[in-house]
Amino acid sequence: MTDARPDASRDGQVAGPPFRWAILGTGPVSRKFAHGLRACRPPARLHAVVSRTEATAAAFAESFGAPHAVTSIGAAAESGAEALYIASPAHLHEAHATEALAAGLPVLVEKPLADSAAAAERLVAAARASHLFAAEAVWTRYLPVIRAVVSHLPEIGLPTAFEACFAVATQHQPGAPLFDPAKGGGALLHRGLYPVSLARAFLGPVARIEAAGRIGTTGVDEEAHLLLTHENGAVSRLRASLVAGGRNGATLSGERAMIEIAPPIWRPASAVLRRTRPTPAMATGGGRTEALRESAMGQRLSAGLLRPLRDRLSPPQRLGGAYRGNGYTHEAEAAAAAIAAGRAEAAEMPLAESIEVLAVIDEARARIAGAAP
């Protein structure tokens, strides 16, 4: 089925027919992606829903106005869908993506691209052989604020450090993929992937990995702490947790400036670049200046005046802008644009980086599991 009706874009210009998406899976993430399509520019629409049961597919399709509810990837391809968003459990991503590519459907695969680096390599090989688009849907990498941070990386000078956290206490539900090792569960694959992916985007390839954490009674890594040394000498300190909370922001530091990314790390809407000024070496000796500086009054004055004074001398620069829709919009737009241009992957999330990130997570998980009692 082909929709040949022109549609008006939000800037008033006449656009072609909406890009036709199929979605595999009917869980919460699939619903978020379907909602995100409503804010796409140029327009996009949900064209087909794929689920194991016809009733489940039909209910989802009806709630979003999709004309096709099917029970196979092949049927989605035959319906006229232009791409498939895969939101099945992580351990099924490789098989589902490979099947879609064989059916002629480009794929946008919900993170992680696969449940291991080896599986991701096989998936990417299948995509290369098919000459079709494939990308990992780490939606954070496609957001305007992260694109802005990447574009401003030269301004921080020599990069030195990156700190990030994605830690949210989550109630354990029996059978939930998040806590099921057989379904690709664990803090690193589902939460740590975000900070690891950003660390790779900002600081480049990783040369050395140190990891510590805890394997829970569920058998998955429930708490993970990573210390990554990048090939350029910069260091990333990252945390992921399924069982405890955290600030969930990020800070990138360089010799000339630092960039603070506001939480939540998975869907940031703002970032600030602060240029740094070298602090003079502390003078030795005593005297009245030292006595005032180290007094209670001096400490209060320092805390209350120095930051505003620094901001006045070197005003912070806001980067990027708010995301559209619910944030999932941008990854859908990037994929549709790449497919329309005949590109095999997304510039925002290169396939090689997806494999690198999974290799880091594989090694970190192995180290944490090896340290478990």
pLDDT one-digit tens code per residue, 172-211? 877 789 999 999 999 999 999 999 999 999 999 999 999 9
Half-sphere exposure of residue 185, counting CA atoms within 13 Å on the CB side? 23
pLDDT for res 5 = 33
Owner of token pair 């600081």: 203
Query: 183 vs 76, 109, 234, 367, CA distance in Å?
Result: 24, 16, 33, 20
**225 in helix, strand or coil?**
strand
- Regions of the chain with pLDDT less than 70: 1-15, 278-286, 305-314, 371-373
Closest among 75, 61, 234 to 161, alpha carbons compared = 234
- Give the pLDDT of residue 172: 86
User: For position 304, what pLDDT does the model report?
Assistant: 73
Question: What pLDDT does 287 receive?
Answer: 74
The helix/strand/coil state of 46 is strand
Single pTM value for the model: 0.88
Residue 4, pLDDT score:
36
CB neighbour list of residue 165: distance below 8 Å, 6 or more residues apart: 195, 238, 239, 240, 246, 247, 248, 249, 250, 265
